[in-house]
Structures are given as structure tokens and as C-alpha cells.
Amino acid sequence: MTTGALPQSVRLSKSRVMTGLQCHKLLWWMVHEPAAPELELDGRVSAVMDRGSRVGELARTYVPGGLLIDLPYDAYSERLTATEEALRTGCPVIYEAAVRADNVFVSVDILERRGSRYSLVEVKSTTSVKDHHFLDVAIQTHVLRRSGLDVTRMEVMYLNRECAYPDLSNLFVRQDVTESVEGLLAKISGEIVAQATMLAGGLPSIAVGDHCSVPYECPFVERCWPELPPHHVSTLYAMRRRALELDEQGYRTIHDLPEDVPLGPIADRQRRAVREGRLIVEPTLARA
């Protein structure tokens, strides 16, 4: 299903809108520099994506009787057409339903028909509902409603930490998030227009801040830092979010960090090595 209001030259998707909600500058780079080296997938990111796909496939077995829109990821027109046909024939459950409205493309994990109305189910490979999941579902709800579907219930389906093998009957929890999502829809509508307008212009000016690592680490964060002195706090091992906090507190370099500023074990060893100007090898390494 498809309907549109924004210029055809501006194409958004759920993932792009989510990126823009984190940072407009990040979204601009992703759209205008898709081949940027920072966007190359590493093994960790690929593993997370693979896990999400496996969980999504498993979730379908807990909501049986549906039709999977099983087409290549980039076959957008074909996916939209197949979804329209499934909706027209009254399919009770559609997996990976493809819908586009306001030039925003979304793929719904599980779309359940309830008479003339629909329930949207977003599957997550987490063990609880996270704050950004509400926004994720809100984007999908906005697009589905704008396409003409009467979506009245929204859920997040996630892994149940209480489930114990071999009994997998309670592997998933389905949490109703309708009320929370309804409160976000006005924000989503305005944000879609703002992102389309932003993408049609030049690179926006956005200062570094907490959004550089929430809800995800930004791959372009090093571009946004001003010219950095040697041993800037951003070089601390696996502490990007903490580095932003330290920089805001006035600690520019690792040399500036007092001993009483807590760091992780590896970052603390890094601090000692920088201060002492030598390589530090922990005695326990020989026994590893």
C-alpha cells in the first residue's frame, strides 16, 4: 500500500526516521554518503542483525497462520504489491507487510487482522521493551494509518527471560504499548516533514552530546569532534558515552583525568600508561 505527501525525491524508511530522531546530521551522512567507510558493517553489528532475523523468524511460529511477504529486501515495489494483495484477500496475519505513506517505507514484523481493524506487532531480540522501541512502533503506526489501515492496537514482542529450555511455550512476551505509542504520533508526523526538509539541504550543524551514543553509537562521531589534542578522552577504550560526559565536564585529555574519576579496568590502565609514558602489561596477562 502506498500514498504520498512529501517530494518523491525524498525517500525515508523506518530505520532512516529512527536515525534522524537520534541525530539529523547522522541521517544526512547516511543518505548522502552511503558508501562512507564509517558505515561498513563490522562483525559485531552483523551478528546483532543476524540474531534479530533469527528471532523474527521464530516469532512467526508463535503467531501462526500467516502469509510471509518473502521477497528480496530491495524489491520495494514487489513487496508493496504483494502486501496489497494479501490485504485485499483478507489474510488474517501478514509477516513482513510492506507499506508506504508520506514517502516513508515500513516493513511490519507481524500485522494481525481483527475484523476491519489491525494489530501491529514489532518483534525485538531484547528481554524488555526499551524507550526507543516506542518510537519504532509509532513510525510504523503513523505510516499504516496514513495508508488507510485502521490500526488500533500496537505490541512489542520480546524474549522472555523467565523461559527455560526445553519448555519454550513461553519464549516470547507480548506487551501492549498502544497508549505510549498514541502519545508519540504527533511528534512522528512533524519529524518526518522536518527530516525530509533537512535532507533536501546541506549538512546540518549539530553539536556533540548524549545523542551521539543514545540509543546507538554513532559511526560518524569522530567527524563531529573539533580538532582533538593527543590522548583526547574520546580515545578511552570502549567508553565513548563516558568520554562525552568527561569532555562536557572540562576533561579534554587523559592527562587531565584525576585518579578519583572512575573508569573501566582497561581505560584505567590506559590512563596510567599515558601518565607514565610507558606500556603497561598486567602481571595476570602471562597466565591468560
- Give the Cα separation of 253 and 227 in Å (integer): 12
Is 253 or 53 the better-scoring residue by pLDDT?
Answer: 53
Q: 173: left (phi > 0), else alpha (psi -120 to 50), else beta?
A: beta
Tally: H helices and E strands in the chain: 10, 8
Domains parsed from the chain with CATH numbers? 2-199 (3.90.320), 225-287 (no CATH)
Please state, in angstroms and as integers, the Cα–Cα distance from residue 163 to each residue in 51, 54, 59, 251, following that order: 18, 17, 14, 45
Percent of the chain at pLDDT > 70 equals: 92
- The pTM assigned to this predicted structure is 0.80
More confident residue, 237 or 260: 260
Query: Is beta strand 117-123 parallel, antiparallel or unpaired with respect to 172-176?
Result: unpaired
- In the numeric block, the cell 525485538 is attached to 124
pLDDT per residue over 83-121, tens digit each?
Answer: 999 999 999 999 999 999 999 999 999 999 999 999 999
141-145, 213-217, 265-269 — most confident range: 141-145
User: What values do phi and psi take at 59, rounded to 5?
Assistant: -60, -30
Given its phi and psi angles, is residue 165 left (phi above 0), alpha (psi -120 to 50 degrees) or beta? Answer: beta
DSSP structure class, residue 167: B
Of 16-20, 175-179, 211-215, 237-241, the poorest mean pLDDT is in 237-241
Cell of 95: 509477516
pLDDT at 261: 84
pLDDT at position 237 over 80: no
The per-residue pLDDT for range 53-65, each reduced to its tens digit, is 999 999 999 999 9
Which position has the higher pLDDT, 227 or 177? Answer: 177
Confidence of residue 66 (pLDDT cuts 50, 70, 90): very high
